[in-house]
Structure 1
């Protein structure tokens, strides 16, 4: 049977990042995934500047290699469409020059991006990577965890388990006690289209806040070969309370909305509309316990405003690698010691998650949202803040400055 000090469940961005950082530091680990790669993952497919920062921390050459890959398009900003129809275009880099600047973001199907990371994993002898391994159950042992398949056969044992197996993680629910809370959970749909017209020549990602669909939003993200990722997201609490049929509403919006309908008139849907659930980081939850840590979606770390989860998974993967290595070195896998992981993750992401929660609540007040959008046009601080939520600008430092909030509300440079 396989025994490792460190075992990682799930080879998505969080798990792969943790494994690669451990390998960089010379630590061996076992990485298990129930799928074989490449495999699809339902997602918006946007890769923010924070993703590029995390890639650079793994290997300085990774962002350039991603940028050179045909599976992605470089994205230069975000178009917010307010409920009053006003477009607020926010470039990731002010006055960008596509000829000389590195793109600050990208859009790539998760099928391709996750495989891009897994290909890095495959190159590393320190990582024992096993696909098509379905860990159906975990059992506590005196020294850590025993991992079992559906037949009850032992797959592996380990001293510390990094749980990165996604939003539906049974471990997160049953062991860590992460209940599905409709006020901190988003229901989403995603599909792919060909021949959508009016996409930004600079591949700006589009977020549409439509008056009679609030507090949800619709996105259109450009992809290679003229395709687009199109989807909707809304708080599960609202979906249940208003008995909203998201599939029906998506179709209605794309066929009747005055701005969107003409753009989708001759578009072709590629494949089915697929649903998914997003556990949001709008509530601070425990990310660790004795002999385990939760990463990414399994730790409910998704941005409550933008729905972005890839960069947060990668941030948590990096910190999980650091603290797993320290736990092994000190032979201390206690709940108390691993709380250092929680502190590290929330120190990096906590204030951004709080700000996003405030932005998310704005969606309940369309008129207020319109005011924010109107004001952002002439308010560089507000425009930059919206941009910074998607990038790796150090938003945390700004949030600590008292004058920042005055500028945010009342303008000024």
Structure 2
């Protein structure tokens, strides 16, 4: 049985990012995943500008390597469709030139992007990466360490500090960290792949459709390589339950009947099954750490409550987890009080964006207000730019502290 200082559960974007930052710092770690890569994960597949910045923080060459892959397409922005049908185009970068500028975002199936990160992991001797290891039990020991076991009780490792990055269905997050599934802060989603969808943006803008009779849910269409598209729907679990919504049925109905979509999908071919997934949203602040553990990514309930984007937030948490794991080892302090510094670091970076996204999510309860904001943003460069900033690695804190910012939001201007 292994004994190690740092073990990471889950080799998705959050776990892989943490492992790579630890390796960069010369800190060995054990990385475990129950899957064997490449493996698929149900997701929207969009990689925002913040993902590229986090890749660059791992290795300055990674964004260019990603852009060179045939398994991705560059994406330059988002088309929001308000309930009244008004389209609000929000580029990731203003005045972009796709012919000369590096891509501001990408879209890549998770089977490909996660494997891209894992391939970086495989190259690092500091990372003891073990696939096909299903940790079914985590038992606290008297000295604070964690004993990891498989489902049949076989010991896997004894760990000083556990970085939990094993996804939205994390048993550790639910049973030990107390992240109960809260329907008001959880999204149910469906995803399918299609080929032959008409009218995709020439610069691969992702589409978010907020359809009046489907609120507070939304539908997305994300272009992919080879003429494919990721198409799906998401809705608060609370609303699904209250309204007794059959998401699978509604997805089919919307694609077949909605005026803005039916012609575009008339000859489209669905590739494979419609698959479901759950998203624990970052619409309320939760504890991200405890005695001898840190939660990362989806296991930490850090998914954007408005767009459902979680990859960049997982990578941000992975970077900070590596930092605080190193600090804890240096101080030999794994107490909840010390590790709360990790919580503060993550929310210092993501908190403002999560609050803004929560406010935008609440607009879905008031279609007329959502329409008003969309109409205003179409004429207000400051508001449109603020929406863009949600998808970039730009620090909004200084801006939102300025009274002039709110005047510009309300009355327009730059």
Same fold (TM over 0.5): yes
Structure-2 separation of matches of 1:338 and 1:103? 36
Partner of 1:369: 370
Structure-2 separation of matches of 1:38 and 1:259? 36
Report the TM-score, using the length of structure 1 for normalisation: 0.99
Cα pair 1:48 1:105 within 8 Å, conserved = yes
Cα pair 2:144 2:291 within 8 Å, conserved = no
- How far residue 128 of structure 1 moved from its aligned partner, in angstroms, is 0.2
Structure-1 separation of matches of 2:221 and 2:363? 21
Partner of 1:182: 183
Structure-1 separation of matches of 2:49 and 2:401? 21
User: In the alignment, does 2:24 pair up with 1:24?
Assistant: yes
Structure-2 separation of matches of 1:257 and 1:183? 27
Partner of 2:93: 93
Partner of 2:108: 108
Report the TM-score, using the length of structure 2 for normalisation: 0.99
User: In the alignment, does 2:206 pair up with 1:205?
Assistant: yes
Structure-2 separation of matches of 1:396 and 1:100? 31
SS at match of 1:27: coil
- How far residue 88 of structure 1 moved from its aligned partner, in angstroms, is 1.0
Structure-1 separation of matches of 2:400 and 2:183? 28
User: In the alignment, does 2:390 pair up with 1:384?
Assistant: no
Question: CA RMSD, aligned part only?
Answer: 0.7
SS at match of 2:263: helix
Structure-1 separation of matches of 2:95 and 2:16? 34
SS at match of 2:259: coil
Structure-2 separation of matches of 1:8 and 1:87? 42
Structure-2 separation of matches of 1:297 and 1:17? 14
Partner of 2:402: 401
1:348-403 alpha-carbon deviations (Å, 9 max, x no partner): 00111001000000011111111111111110011111111112222232222222
Which stretches in structure 2 are left out of the alignment for 5+ residues? none
Structure-1 separation of matches of 2:169 and 2:398? 34
Cα pair 2:281 2:301 within 8 Å, conserved = yes
Runs of 4+ in 1 over 3 A off after TM superposition: none
Cα pair 1:323 1:341 within 8 Å, conserved = yes
Superposition pairs for residues 25-40 of structure 1, below 5 Å? 25-40=25-40
Partner of 1:70: 70
Partner of 1:44: 44
Which stretches in structure 1 are left out of the alignment for 5+ residues? none
1:144-173 alpha-carbon deviations (Å, 9 max, x no partner): 100000110100111000000000000001
Partner of 1:280: 281
- How far residue 143 of structure 1 moved from its aligned partner, in angstroms, is 3.7
Cα pair 1:231 1:250 within 8 Å, conserved = yes
- How far residue 412 of structure 1 moved from its aligned partner, in angstroms, is 1.4
